[in-house]
Amino acid sequence: MSASKITGTGTFIPSLKKENAAFLEEIFLDADGTALSADNEFIIQKFKEITGIEERRYAIKEYNTSDLAFFAAQKAIEDAKINPEELDYIIFAHNFGDVKQGAIQGDMLPSLATRVKYRLGIENPNCVAYDLLFGCPGWIEGVIQAQVFIKAGIAKKCLIIGAETLSRVVDRHDRDSMIFSDGAGACIVEKTTEKDSGILSHATQTFAKEEAYFLHYGTSFNKEKDQNIRYIKMYGRKIYEFAITNVPKAMKLALDKSGLKIEDVKKIFIHQANEKMDEAIVKRFYRLFKKSVPEGIMPMSIHKLGNSSVATVPTLLDLVLKGKIKNQEVHKGDVIMLASVGAGMNINAIVYKY
C-alpha cells in the first residue's frame, strides 16, 4: 500500500486590501430588513474582537476563481519541481464557481478544474480534472481523496486546489459580509516510499440533520433588492456551537487512528473562520486529552486575509512553510494536523508527518 506526501505548495493572495474602516459607510440591516440598533463603528469593533479580522483581500475584477487557482497551481507545481504532464488528477475545491464581478450567476461549465488544466497547457488525457463541492473543508477533502487514489495504485501525482472569490457572493447589507474574502492555495501530493511520513491518518464527517442548512443561499437583507438574487448566508451562533462541539472530536478520531499522542503534534492548521471559534476548538481538542494548549501551536492568517473558505488552510500552510508568518515554522519530522469545518455541515482532519 503506497504512502503519500505533500511535495509542493503555492498560494495566490489577491492584491486588493479592504480594511475594517472601509465598512463604516455600509448600511447593515437585520434579517427582517430593519436597521441594526448599533452604529457601524460599534459593529465593526465587536466584529474584530470576535473574528480577529482587521482586513481582507479581494480579487481584481479581471480575475475569477479559476484564475486565482491557476496562479496558485503554477507555484505549487514549481515548488514540487514536477512536469505538469505527469499529473494524474487535478482536484479543485470551491463552492460557487467563477462569479464575474457584478454578475448574479456562478459559472461551472466547463468545470473549474478543467479550466486550470487548460491554462496549464496539459495535453495528457489521463490527467483527470474534476471539481469538489464540500464547503470550507473542500481542499482538505481533496488531499484525502488524492491519498486514496495513490493508495489504490491509480495515481502517483495529484494537484489539489482550494480557491474562492467570496466577495462576489456576499450581501453587503449583512454584517457577516465582513468575514469573507478571496484567495487560492494549492499543493502537490505524490506517492512516496518514505516510511512513517506524509499522510498518516484522517477523519471526515457530514452532519445533515438540522445542521445541513447552517450555511445556505438566501436573499438580501435589503428587501428593496431583487429577491431572486441569492447570497451566502449563515447562522453564525449555531455554527460556532456546532464547531466547538464536533470538530475537536473529529480531530481526536484522526489522531487516534494515527497511533500518535497529543504531545507529538507540533502545529495545527485550522480553517481560518473565526479567531475565537478556532481558539475554542483547539482548547477543547486538548481538553479531550486533559492537556493545556501549547503556546504557538496554532498559526493564524485570518487577521490580514479574512475567511477565504477552501483557500484558508492551504494558504496558511504555504505561508508557514515559506517562512512568511512570524514565529511559525515546520521542521522535518514534525507532526501537524489540518482541520476544517463548513457547509454541509462537513468536518475533516488530517494527521501529517513532515
CATH of the domain at 109: 3.40.47.10
268: cell is 495545527
Q: Is the dihedral of CA 271, 275, 276, 281 positive or negative?
A: positive
Mean of all residue pLDDT scores within the chain? 95
- Lowest mean pLDDT, pick from 102-106, 124-128, 163-167, 339-343: 102-106
Same domain, yes or no: 217 and 174: no
Spatial separation of the C-alpha atoms in residues 318 and 309, rounded to whole Å: 16
Task: Kindly list the distances between the CA atom of residue 339 and the CA atoms of 40, 57, 138, 171, in Å, as whole numbers in the listed order.
Answer: 33, 22, 11, 27
Same domain, yes or no: 240 and 347: yes
pLDDT of residue 262: 97
In 3D space, the residue among 193, 186, 195, 341 whose CA is nearest the CA of residue 273 turns out to be: 341
Does 78 score more than 80 pLDDT? Answer: yes
Mean pLDDT (whole number) for 265-276: 96
Same domain, yes or no: 33 and 123: yes
Same domain, yes or no: 202 and 292: yes
8 A C-beta contact, residue 48 and residue 11: no
Q: What is the four-CA torsion angle of 72, 76, 79, 82, rounded to 10 degrees?
A: -130
Mean pLDDT (whole number) for 221-231: 89
Same domain, yes or no: 274 and 235: yes
Does 279 score more than 60 pLDDT? Answer: yes
Percent of the chain surpassing pLDDT 70: 99
Mean pLDDT (whole number) for 312-331: 96
In 3D space, the residue among 138, 132, 126 whose CA is nearest the CA of residue 113 turns out to be: 132
Q: Is the dihedral of CA 48, 252, 92, 95 positive or negative?
A: negative
Same domain, yes or no: 231 and 129: no
8 A C-beta contact, residue 160 and residue 93: yes
pLDDT of residue 301: 96
In the listed set 177, 192, 207, which residue is the last one of a domain according to the structure? 192
Per the structure, how many domains does the chain have?
2
- Identify the residue whose cell numbers are 473549474: 112
Q: How confident is the model at residue 30 (pLDDT cuts 50, 70, 90)?
A: very high
Mean pLDDT (whole number) for 181-193: 96
Same domain, yes or no: 225 and 168: no
Same domain, yes or no: 275 and 158: no
Spatial separation of the C-alpha atoms in residues 317 and 268, rounded to whole Å: 10
Mean pLDDT (whole number) for 216-222: 93
pLDDT of residue 2: 62
Does 1 score more than 90 pLDDT? Answer: no
Same domain, yes or no: 126 and 216: no
In the listed set 132, 161, 192, which residue is the last one of a domain according to the structure? 192
In the listed set 138, 161, 192, which residue is the last one of a domain according to the structure? 192
Same domain, yes or no: 205 and 326: yes
Q: Whole domain around residue 48: which residue ranges?
A: 3-192
Same domain, yes or no: 59 and 139: yes
pLDDT of residue 101: 84
Same domain, yes or no: 75 and 172: yes
pLDDT digits (tens, 9 = 90+) for 89-132: 999 999 999 999 887 788 999 999 999 999 999 999 999 999 99
103: cell is 454578475
